[in-house]
Structure 1
Amino acid sequence: MTAPGAPTPREVFARLSAGISAGRWDELAVLYAEDAVVEQPFALPPAPPRLEGRAEIDRHFRAAARGPLELRARDVVVHETADPEVIVAEFGYDGRVVPPGRAFRVANIQVLRVRDGLIAETRDYHDHPAFARAMRDG
């Protein structure tokens, strides 16, 4: 159960999305519980299909910060579920590979469980082949 006054799952997702869109990768891990789990069923090697713990999630985000991608969330739709801790977010990313500046679009769905204002677990269904194509063709 979530503590009174803690951010809602919708608010936590909004912070995560805004941080990614602003390129504030080094600030994102604090949104996750110490024992959080991120599952990425469609991840392509070398990306791990599962991240365990805030420290590993932080390393993942910091690696993304060193990469050539800029992402901006668009068309965000958040669905509430019967479980007050769980939301489903559908959204797209308008992306850019820098350099050279080539633009691309990627579809995404995230299922988030937020407990006491922190992300406890997510299942991230990003279009990893589209990311790979953008990097290859970028």
Structure 2
Amino acid sequence: MSYRSCDDALPGFALRYFPMGALSVHIPAAGEKTEDALTKMPDDYYYRYRAPEKGGQGRYEMTEVDYDPRVEICVRKATRIRVPDSRCTDKDPGHAWYYLRLSSHVPAVGRRAAGGSFMVPNGDSYRARRNGGDGVDAAISYKGPRG
């Protein structure tokens, strides 16, 4: 499947993880079964890769997940409508951090977010102003490396 369904945490879609230490690991193509995959990313993974839709054999087929800075906003998970950050810091059910590229538009509280991911980024992250705006202008409160 496309990664967008997993990035948006749509029901019925989930990322699967394969160990990349072995050069011979087979990554299935989109639509194939993922029998040997892990359902949770191991804590000792430092680098993350995404497989091409055609699948592949070994780590040389993969694309490293980028380390671009992100802006984290709190959203209602089901709708991606932005809510106050306190909903996520208080761990209110149904709310989660959503990560947008620093180069993208950050929605104001009450507006819908798009084009980001619920996946915790590898790189640095920032919180955002309540009124949103361009990512660089909306970014505040450096959070440091994530992942």
**TM-score computed with the length of structure 1 as normaliser:** 0.24
Which of the two has higher C-alpha Rg?
2
Which one has the bigger strand percentage? Answer: 1
Greater length-normalized contact order (CA 8 Å, ≥ 6 residues apart)? 1
Which one has the bigger helix percentage? Answer: 1
**TM-score computed with the length of structure 2 as normaliser:** 0.23
